[in-house]
Structure 1
């Protein structure tokens, strides 16, 4: 059995930063076998301030910053929205920011480590608020823009700072992604209860009751509830939605935060393995080669069927979900159904 890899000292981390100033923080952290939060902690007092990660403090403070960019990511997708933080609703288990531009679902127990970051770049100072979970993985980031309110930023440094000046950070081991979990003996119960759903949020409770998870249920449910799609159909889905100007709701989320874009998409710019939506106010960077399974899913609701396309990675982790917009007076669900029904089937349904 090999010895565990020793965590580099804060001074060694700072030396690595100095040696690789252009390398993305996430990539350098991976090279050093540390978390991104530990990389920031090593810079405490050097442009980095430890702050509270409590969303009940952070979200109202973010409202004072004016226009910013909100970023939420998983390994295979980065979701970026420009707008103002407003209309925050607190909750013990789930909170939300709900407005036209920035639409978040927040799970406070995973908001563990917070940092206020000021870094020099070729384009001037870069300022951000960054939140991480217990393992030191990014949960949510808020990046200031040219027009952001610097007075609000200065006030944040005083009101949110914890006073912790340590340049070391203890993190917990990363929780593995839960693989697909099915129980074929309960298939008939699953299908019967699925047909009775009246809200999409009831679905995960149903899976939990049957000791399954989302992907596990999809793998056994069959028609008319799910259809396995060719993973390469991600491009087709986005291209047709763009060409037909079909409004979509595109979700990307980790354990601590889900971020949602609602509206049409306009500009697709593929680059290598990445498919990129590059619209004013909304960017998505998606690693298409990481989409191992793609599913078309239909769930009954009181407002009609909710049809989604959902992408999963090889470990069973959810990368994204995409729905048609179903708001009154702005109902894109029929157009979205047409797009989804035309997507090609997978050549092989996962076992």
Structure 2
């Protein structure tokens, strides 16, 4: 085990010397390992392996004060600054619901945790069984560094030099043939939805992937649009100071921003929102399709922009700002359809 960890650490050190600006996620891909395994090579030195008591750790993040929450998938990064309060769990499912930090947590997918020190930039980083990042929490210049170190000491694993068991991610879902879908019943179910949260249950009932459901949707309920049309819509929202909701997630965490998006910047393949409290980095070349989706609710129709990769996994969703019991903002419909 020691030889394996030592060899990987040496390989990573060599790669960092050759490509000093290479991000750890990209370095892991080049070395054909997971990000977790690279973080683990420095456990007991700059990094600290944590006990897998993740719910308890999250309940104490508020002691750190003002931090930056980061949740990502392969093609989009969502960064939001604020304070972790109102942390609650119902079994393995948790939530943090504040105007700043807004998370949905699925703890079955949280397997490894580390306190990471990158040249005195401190963070807590959590990973899934496949070694991919689930959620990260970075200290800011307004955070309580002493509280961070106390938290790390409290939850430090007894044994730091461990070879982690990484489980490969499951294969992408295989769509059932379209002709096996009861289209009439599916359409009836869609047009009779009462809440946007019922959509996932409908997919399970009819054994559909999300993109297959959009292809087979009732007429007028799902229309494919271009990536440029997506950007144009977000630009109009920015120019009109329209609050939106931005959802980015992975199997273990969904992170939500609700508010205006102001500074939109294209940098190479990345389409970015670069605001003081919220950043989003969306990689163009990871996008396979974009859909404008209509879902009925008891408050009227709700429209979203949904972005997918070539596997059919959702990258990011955009909604107009709304709360249950309140109809969708007509200004959101205006930027979508005008």
Shared fold, TM over 0.5:
yes
- Say if 1:38 and 1:231 are closer, same or farther in 2 by CA, change over 3 A: same
How far apart are the structure 1 equivalents of 2:325 and 2:214? 31
1:187 corresponds to:
183
Gaps of 5+ in 1: 1-7, 343-351
**CA offset at residue 244 of structure 1?**
1.3
- Say if 1:136 and 1:230 are closer, same or farther in 2 by CA, change over 3 A: same
SS in 1 for 2:129: coil
Q: Quick one: which of 13, 17, 23 aligns to 1:18?
A: 13
1:125-158 residue CA offsets vs partner (Å, 9 max, x unmatched): 1101000000000000001111210121121122
Q: Quick one: which of 155, 161, 179 aligns to 1:160?
A: 155
Normalising to structure 1: TM-score of the pair? 0.90
Gaps of 5+ in 2: none
- Whether the aligned pair in 1 keeps the contact of 2:109 and 2:128 (CA below 8 Å) is yes
1:266-311 residue CA offsets vs partner (Å, 9 max, x unmatched): 0011111110100010000001222111111111112221110000
Question: What is the total number of aligned residue pairs between the two structures?
Answer: 331
2:84 corresponds to:
85
1:301-332 residue CA offsets vs partner (Å, 9 max, x unmatched): 12221110000011111000100012499976
1:45 corresponds to:
44
- Say if 1:306 and 1:164 are closer, same or farther in 2 by CA, change over 3 A: farther
1:5 corresponds to:
none
CA RMSD of aligned residues (A): 1.9
Normalising to structure 2: TM-score of the pair? 0.93
**CA offset at residue 183 of structure 1?**
3.8
- Say if 1:226 and 1:181 are closer, same or farther in 2 by CA, change over 3 A: farther
- Say if 1:182 and 1:59 are closer, same or farther in 2 by CA, change over 3 A: farther
How far apart are the structure 2 equivalents of 1:167 and 1:329? 50
How far apart are the structure 1 equivalents of 2:135 and 2:42? 19
Between 170-179 and 99-108, the greater mean CA deviation after superposition: 170-179
1:142-179 residue CA offsets vs partner (Å, 9 max, x unmatched): 01111210121121122211213124211001223335
- Whether the aligned pair in 1 keeps the contact of 2:190 and 2:218 (CA below 8 Å) is no
**CA offset at residue 232 of structure 1?**
2.7
